[in-house]
Structure 1
Amino acid sequence: MRKGFTLVEIMVVVVIIGVLAALAIPTYKLAVVRARQREALVNLKYLWELEQAFFAEHGHFGPGIHVDINEAHLPPGVGGRIKSYIDNDPPLEFSLP
């Protein structure tokens, strides 16, 4: 009797692995997105705490941040593409709970 696997057995295993991957990959991507959202929220809360500490020490909030896309050191052509998104997007508003 020969030892080894038949082509059908190998194909069945490959199909099973494919089905499991098809189920697992979207779940993994969703978990990554949620982790990034939680990380962003933690960073925002930390920035809020820093602003509160600055206010307690100086009596006013820190200066706003302004980034001039024209003065940034970006590869040629990239600044224009980013600027088109910035010009067309409305400002984002958010609040902390």
Structure 2
Amino acid sequence: MTKQRKSQEGFTLMELMIVVVVIGILAALAVPRFLKAGARSKQSEAKSILKQIYVMERAYRQENDTYVFGVGAGPGQNITPLIVEIMNNARYSYVISGGTNSFTATATTISATGLDDDATLDIWQVDDRGRLAAVSDDTQG
């Protein structure tokens, strides 16, 4: 009489552990990239408002021979006399500095933890020449 060996189905504990380790490694690589992508998408608010400030400053200068400066706004406020509205759920506050012949508009994250919950603030600027640049880019590093 020969004993017939019963067929075993399923995975061994070692195979399951390998799968869990591989998933952990993939998650460790993907999550930081996902968070940075989310932070970059949030920067579009600052870039959009700063471009709007630039356009409105140019129009104001055409009519008044000076730029608007020494003003700022946070969520739910307007930058006057420019017609720039900051939404209630804004992530940035805005300040315009400069003088009669030049200006710099700065957007700074309101949260002390920036866009991705670290100590780096996200700060963007546009000047009277339309140059938009990051002073401190929270998505880098």
Match of 1:95 in 2: 126
TM-score (norm: length of structure 2): 0.40
- Structure 2 CA distance, aligned partners of 1:40 and 1:46? 10
Q: Among all aligned residue pairs of Structure 1 and Structure 2, give the percentage whose two residues are the same amino acid.
A: 36
Match of 2:39 in 1: 33
Q: Cα distance 1:39–1:55, how it changes in 2: closer, same or farther (>3 A)?
A: same
Write out aligned runs for 1:45-84 (5 A). 45-56=51-62, 59=64, 64-65=71-72
Higher helix share: 1
Instruction: State how many pairs are aligned.
Output: 73
Q: Cα distance 1:93–1:16, how it changes in 2: closer, same or farther (>3 A)?
A: closer
| Structure 1: 4+ residue segments shifted above 4 A | 60-63
Q: Which amino acid in 2 is paired with 1:25?
A: V
- Structure 2 CA distance, aligned partners of 1:30 and 1:12? 28
Match of 2:30 in 1: 24
Cα root mean square deviation, aligned: 3.1
Q: Is the 8 A contact 2:60 2:67 kept in 1?
A: yes
Give 1:43 deviation, angstroms.
Answer: 2.0
The answer to which structure, 1 or 2, has the higher relative contact order (CA under 8 A, 6+ apart) is: 2
Give 1:26 deviation, angstroms.
Answer: 1.4
Match of 1:3 in 2: 9
Q: Where do 5+ consecutive residues of structure 2 fail to align?
A: 1-6, 75-111, 113-122, 132-141
TM-score (norm: length of structure 1): 0.53
